[in-house]
Structure formats: structure tokens, C-alpha cells
Structure 1
Amino acid sequence: MSDTPFEHLDIPTLKTWLDAGESLALVDIRDPMSFAQGHIPASRHLDNASVGALLDETSKDTPLVVVCYHGHSSQQAAAWLAGQGYARVYSLDGGFTDWAARHPTRVATAPA
């Protein structure tokens, strides 16, 4: 068993899951402006103000994928979410930056 309460997830695996319509929750912890300028479709912005709603609305059985800029900060957030009782928590290796570089046509923007 791993020493960390979450798992690392690579970009190709996330793409496969999304293409297959896997049931999961994508949470993006980057700053609001960066999220508005581009994010993985179906992801929701997560910050101190919105984390309560996530905890209330998301089943502990739902896999959570945490996205940040490069895959570093997401590890801390993933560990914290795992500590809240989520069974399957993932930190996206390479973060949004790597996702956008590999899949530029699969980036959504927030409405103005």
C-alpha cells in the first residue's frame, strides 16, 4: 500500500476515463482567473469558499481528480480530500498546463 492517501493520475488515463464517461468529479484548485481562462471541461473550481459545497454534494464513493497548474499543489489538496473520507482521490500529474498542451481542443472557458 502507498504511503500517500491519494494516487497519481496521468493525462492519458484521465482522457480515457473522460472519453468513456466514467463517473468522477474534477476539481480545479488554480486561481479563479486562471480557471476562467481555461479548464478541463466538466471541472469545477475549488477554493476555500466552495469546498463546503463539494463536501456536501459529492458522495464519498465518487472518484475525485484534483487539478492544479503543474501537478504539485494538487497533491496537498488530494491528501486533504482523502482525509475527508473520499475513497478514491487522484492528483493529476502535469496539471492543467500539461493537459492543455496535449489536448488544446479540450479546454473550456468560463462564460464572460
Structure 2
Amino acid sequence: MTDTVPLQIDVDALQRLRQSGADLALVDVREPWEFELCAIEGSTSIPLGTLARRAGELPKDRQVVLVCHHGGRSAQATAWLRHNGFDKATNLMGGVDAWARRIDPTMKVY
């Protein structure tokens, strides 16, 4: 039996996972210009439009948290990944905007 991973988490839950040392991949699906403006430390940029061809770069054996600006594109990415065998894909609700407002106030918002 595999660990059940939630379909989505909020920024507080992500912060707790990171603080606990959880082995997860953080994938930002925003456009490159958005990623350059601000990004959660340790995240990898894989724009949504490239996800299908780059999915092989993602681990299937550990949690993958998908991030975008507010949570819409990352929800699409999570649904696509789950449909394609990534049972541990999770959407970050509120995206980098919520992260900047609740967790890292030094992060640029746009």
C-alpha cells in the first residue's frame, strides 16, 4: 500500500512538510518570466506548456507539489499528472501569492 497524498495542500501544510525534511519535489509551472520575478526556494521551473514532454523529469515515488501564481495552472498540472500515473502529485492552493503573503513576506508579489 502506498501513502495517500492529498490532491491539494495549503501553504502552511507545505511549510510544515519542508520544515520536517519531507522528501518532495517542488515544481513551478508558471512562465519563465514569472519564475524569474519570484519563486519558492528549491523549486524547479517546468512551465505548464512543457509539462507533458518534461514529465519524465519528475519522480513518481515521492510527493510532487505543483505551484503557480494563484493555484489554477498548478491544479491543471496536478490533474494531468495524476491522470498519467503520478499518484503523489499535489496542488499548492493559493500558489506563490499565498506563499509570499503567509510564509515569506520578503518575496515579491505581482
Question: Is the structural similarity TM-score above 0.5?
Answer: yes
Cα gap change, 1:50/1:76 in structure 2, threshold over 3 Å: closer, same or farther? closer
Larger % of helix: which?
2
**Which one-letter code corresponds to 1:98 in the other structure?**
A
SS at match of 1:41: coil
Deviations 1:22-70 (A, max 9, x none): 01111111111110121111100112446544x3333311111110111
**Number of equivalences:** 102
Unpaired runs of at least 5, structure 2: 1-5
Q: Is contact 2:65–2:91 with CA below 8 Å preserved after alignment?
A: yes
**Does residue 81 in structure 1 map to residue 107 in structure 2?**
no
| Structure-1 separation of matches of 2:7 and 2:25 | 15
Unpaired runs of at least 5, structure 1: 1-5
4+ residue stretches of structure 1 with deviation over 3 A?
48-53, 105-108
1:24 matched to which residue of 2?
24
SS at match of 2:34: helix
SS at match of 1:16: helix
| Structure-2 separation of matches of 1:91 and 1:106 | 23
**Which one-letter code corresponds to 1:81 in the other structure?**
L
1:8 matched to which residue of 2?
8
Cα gap change, 1:16/1:73 in structure 2, threshold over 3 Å: closer, same or farther? same
| Structure-1 separation of matches of 2:31 and 2:41 | 16
SS at match of 2:26: strand
